[in-house]
């Protein structure tokens, strides 16, 4: 039996992005249906941001404590693996979504569990695990918030070897004796950091010249040095040619392009992501199956009046916080259009235009040391044609850094637009720098003139004093 229902807005995907969008349109008085095929709360809550940071927090805390006088002899042993994994399990609700479902119910959105597919203009068909079928019609908008999935490269034996993806790496219940990590991006670096600290023998294989290639080069260099010091092996300019799983559940043989063979118990491919749009009915509305969905500044799909693509699926910025930001933008735009209110380029809150996804996207890599960046790197700024100067400072020269940890090592860079004297990008690497990045985001997103940044006085003695030192270095160059 098929049941037909009508809502103002239908949201495909109940991850953080879909939840925020549903909340925004409900707050505006619109009815909303949310469709989810897995757990309410999505990738971030169960297999990405939350579990990875729960695994990494004890690692970073121990690393910091080992550099504080009076604590070293108390933190010299191994981590309590069982306690770390139990802490992770608690934070993901043991992979049950009861709390998230209660939240969704609390905002007044209706949840439909099952696989949702577009079914022509403003329609979504949902088939539940029990075989029930619903056709949901949206009066105003359908929002695709289905996120991305990990990509397993098309290599001989890769699929048959049952490799880890990011989901396996954040949810594993046992520490592998030997782990090969393929890829030097954020997932590869964070999981190498976590599992090495938990006792795995870790080898990181990077096709390019270094880790964290989308950040300033020194970020990857400092993180690679720390991983090596922790006992991991980091190899650059190498490629995997083949993967062989020996026996039903036996070890893995990783064959490199030069014929070298590496033995491991597990292999993690952290080599990219693809949009989860391959089976959501895009073909029924003339769009390409499995494609990224280009959008305008309100996250409305190009050429459509009713379809929105929010979060990872639009390929603007594959980060949870940016997806939630987009959801606030899209929710405001949908509500305004439903009320036939003129949609201005911006309002008092900037609520109708996703401008921060262009040049002020912040990111933190929770490695040891942390790496945090916002905006453009020096190379990106130069490639974009800006006349710029990079201003560097060794963070260990700040009084707060020495108090934070003995032998503090870190580096900061700001990229200055010389024509306008505003910041285009900022990068920090060092213990605790993740908490610095929002100040940099404000400076970049707000295009705060350097002449005004002089008056944002950092508290003493904190690591934030690096801001003063960067400005002094710029003045004196």
377 is in which domain, residue-wise?
369-476
289 and 143 assigned to the same domain? yes
Please say which residue of 226, 257, 272 terminates a domain: 272
Q: 172-214, pLDDT tens digit by residue? A: 999 999 999 999 999 999 999 999 999 999 999 999 999 999 9
For the segment 369-381, what is each residue's pLDDT rounded down to a tens digit? Answer: 999 999 999 999 9
Is residue 383 assigned to a domain?
yes
How high is the pLDDT of residue 346?
46
Q: Could you write out the three-class secondary structure of the chain?
A: CEEEEEEEEEEECCCHHHHHHHHHHHHCCCCEEEEECCCCCHHHHHHCHHHHHHHHHHHHHHHHHCCCCCCHHHCCCCCCHHHHHHHHHHHCHHHCCHHHHHHHHHCCCEEEECEEEECCCCEEEEECCCCCEEEEEEEEEEEECCCEEECCCCCCCCCCCCCECHHHHHHCCCCCCEEEEECCCHHHHHHHHHHHHCCCEEEEECCCCCCCCCCCHHHHHHHHHHHHHCCCEEECCCCEEEEEECCCCCCEEEEECCCCEEEECEEEECCCEEECCCCCCHHHHCCCCCCCCCECCCCEECCCCCEEECCHHHCCCCCHHHHHHHHHHHHHHHHHHHCCCCCCCCCCCCCCCCCHHHHCCEEEECCCCCEEEEECCHHHHHHCCCCEEEEEEEHHHCHHHHHHCCCCCCEEEEEEECCCCEEEEEEEECCCHHHHHHHHHHHHHCCCCHHHHCCCCCCCCCHHHHHHHHHHHHHHC
The answer to whether residues 7 and 116 belong to one domain is yes
Q: Are residues 351 and 373 in the same domain?
A: no
What pLDDT, on the 0 to 100 scale, is given for residue 73? 86
Spell out, as residue ranges, where the chain has pLDDT lower than 70.
1, 343-352
220 within a domain of the structure (yes/no)? yes
Verify that 386 and 453 share a domain, yes or no: yes
**Total domains present in the chain:** 3
Asked which of 325, 356, 387 is the last residue of a domain, the reply is: 356
Residue 122 lies in a domain: yes
Do 222 and 314 belong together in one domain? no
The predicted structure's pLDDT at residue 230: 96
Q: Are residues 174 and 286 in the same domain?
A: no
pLDDT at 348: 47
């Amino acid at each position: 039996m098929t049941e037909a229902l009508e809502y103002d807005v239908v949201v495909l995907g109940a991850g953080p992005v879909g939840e925020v969008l549903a909340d925004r349109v409900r707050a505006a008085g619109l009815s909303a249906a949310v469709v989810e095929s897995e757990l309410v709360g999505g990738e971030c809550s169960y297999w990405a941001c939350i579990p990875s940071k729960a695994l990494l927090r004890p690692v970073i805390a121990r690393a910091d404590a080992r550099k504080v006088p009076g604590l070293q002899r108390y933190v010299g042993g191994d981590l309590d693996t069982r306690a770390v994994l139990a802490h992770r399990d608690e934070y993901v609700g043991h992979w049950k979504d009861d709390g998230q479902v209660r939240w969704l119910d609390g905002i007044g959105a209706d949840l439909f569990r099952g696989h949702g597919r577009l079914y022509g203009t403003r329609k979504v068909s949902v088939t539940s695990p029990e075989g029930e079928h619903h056709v949901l019609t949206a009066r105003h908008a359908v929002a695709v918030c289905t996120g991305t999935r990990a990509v397993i490269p098309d290599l001989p034996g890769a699929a048959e070897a049952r490799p880890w993806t990011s989901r396996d790496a954040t949810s594993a219940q046992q520490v592998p004796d030997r782990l090969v990590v393929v890829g030097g991006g954020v997932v590869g670096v964070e999981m190498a950091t976590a599992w090495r600290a938990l006792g795995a023998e870790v080898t990181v294989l990077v096709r390019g010249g270094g880790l964290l290639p989308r950040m300033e080069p020194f970020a990857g260099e400092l993180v690679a040095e720390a991983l090596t010091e922790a006992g991991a092996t980091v190899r650059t300019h190498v490629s995997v040619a083949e993967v062989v799983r020996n026996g039903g559940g036996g070890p893995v043989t990783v064959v490199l392009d030069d014929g070298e063979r590496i033995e491991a118990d597990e292999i993690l491919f952290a080599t990219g992501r693809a949009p989860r749009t391959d089976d959501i009915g895009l073909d029924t509305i003339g769009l390409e199956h499995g494609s990224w969905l280009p959008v305008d500044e309100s996250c409305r799909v190009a050429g459509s009046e009713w379809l929105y693509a929010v979060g990872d699926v639009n390929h603007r910025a594959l980060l949870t916080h940016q997806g939630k930001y987009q959801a606030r933008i899209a929710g405001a735009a949908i509500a305004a259009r439903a009320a036939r209110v003129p949609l201005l380029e911006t309002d008092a809150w900037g609520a109708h235009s996703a401008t921060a996804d262009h040049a002020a996207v912040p990111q933190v890599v929770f490695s040891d040391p942390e790496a945090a960046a916002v905006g453009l790197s020096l190379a990106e700024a130069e490639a974009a044609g800006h006349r710029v100067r990079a201003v560097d400072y060794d963070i260990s020269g700040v009084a707060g850094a020495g108090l934070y940890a003995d032998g503090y090592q870190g580096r900061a860079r700001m990229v200055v637009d010389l024509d306008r004297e505003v910041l285009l990008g900022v990068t920090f690497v060092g213990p605790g720098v993740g908490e610095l990045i929002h100040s940099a985001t404000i400076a970049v997103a707000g295009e705060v003139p350097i002449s005004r940044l002089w008056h944002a006085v950092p508290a003493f003695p904190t690591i934030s004093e690096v801001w003063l030192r960067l400005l002094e270095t710029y003045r004196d160059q």
